[in-house]
Amino acid sequence: MKRGKVRSDMAWSTPTRIVVRGMDLCEEIIGKVDFGQMAFLEIFGRLPNAREERMFNAVLVILVEHGITPSTLATRLTYCGAPEAVQGAVAAGLLGLGSVFVGSLDNAARMLQEALPDPKAGADLDALAKAIVEAHRSRREIIPGIGHPFHKPIDPRTPKLFQVAKETGFSGRYVELMQKIGAEAERSYQRTLPVNVTGAMAAVASEFGLPWKVCRGLAVMGRAVGLVGHILEEIKMPMAEEIYFRLEEEASEEARRKG
């Protein structure tokens, strides 16, 4: 039984031609469209204008690389067991991009988009920010997109991303609401709780009209690039085996003693 139609408009091809989002891959993309424009094309179905391009690239590059993290360690350790499957090592590193490290990106975007379903409607942002902070506080839930355990007092990426947003015309209602939420939270909790990088990315992604459900994908695209970088460094300057030997020895000390 065929219940519905299966349809995708992403691309189609013939033996001699590949059409991606309506553009001819060979004639219009290769050598003409760069990687950031291509990512935009994939997400929005058209090429960006100059303002969009600068803003979107800023979002894409921001989480590519943060040195040795659980994610890059997972990639390196996986590579050391399966060097023939680079795709698996990258996949392993991506799998740690969950609720602890980038999940707040989705959550913050959801919070913003549900509070402000139509950014053009004249909502009272101060009232919204207050209501959001109070609602989270009463449920004892963490407000996504504010505060950072390490980058203190403020996450240095946020002002930079918001500055680019201003310069490119993307500093709209979602950015404003996110900032007001941070300010309101600081007032309410009486501690420094500025917008962090995922909060800033969530606000800008919302300005682009990107549904919150897919916002984490921006981090995933960027990190995939970074993880390939780590694989190359692992080839040239390996650490995975050393990590394994050291940790195996230390971790099993107690069990060995008991025999």
Query: Which residues, 45 to 64, sit near a copy of itself by CB under 8 A?
Result: 53-54, 57-58, 60-62, 64
Q: Does 191 bind a copy of itself (CB under 8 A)?
A: no
Rounded to the nearest whole angstrom, what is the least distance from the CB of residue 121 to a copy of itself in the complex? 23
Cβ closer to a copy of itself: 144 or 226?
Answer: 226
Q: How many CA atoms lie within 13 A of 87 on its CB side?
A: 0
Q: How far apart are CA 184 and CA 129, in angstroms?
A: 7
132 touches 181 (CB < 8 A): yes
Our CB check for a copy of itself shows the closer of 126 and 166 to be 166
Q: Which of 10, 117, 118, 191 binds a copy of itself (CB under 8 A)?
A: 10
Q: What binding mask, one character per residue, do residues 60-99 give for a copy of itself by CB under 8 A, x or -?
A: xxx-xxxxxxxxxxx--xx-xxxxxxxxxxxxx-xxxxxx
Of residues 200 through 259, those in contact with a copy of itself by CB under 8 A are 210-211, 213-214, 216-218, 220-222, 224-226, 228-233, 235, 237, 239-256, 258-259
| Residue 20 backbone phi and psi in degrees, to 5 | -110, 120
Residue 183 or 239 with smaller CB distance to a copy of itself: 239
201, exposed or middle or buried, with CB in 10 Å at 0-12, 13-18, 19+? buried
Q: CA torsion 54→64→150→72, rounded to 10°?
A: 180
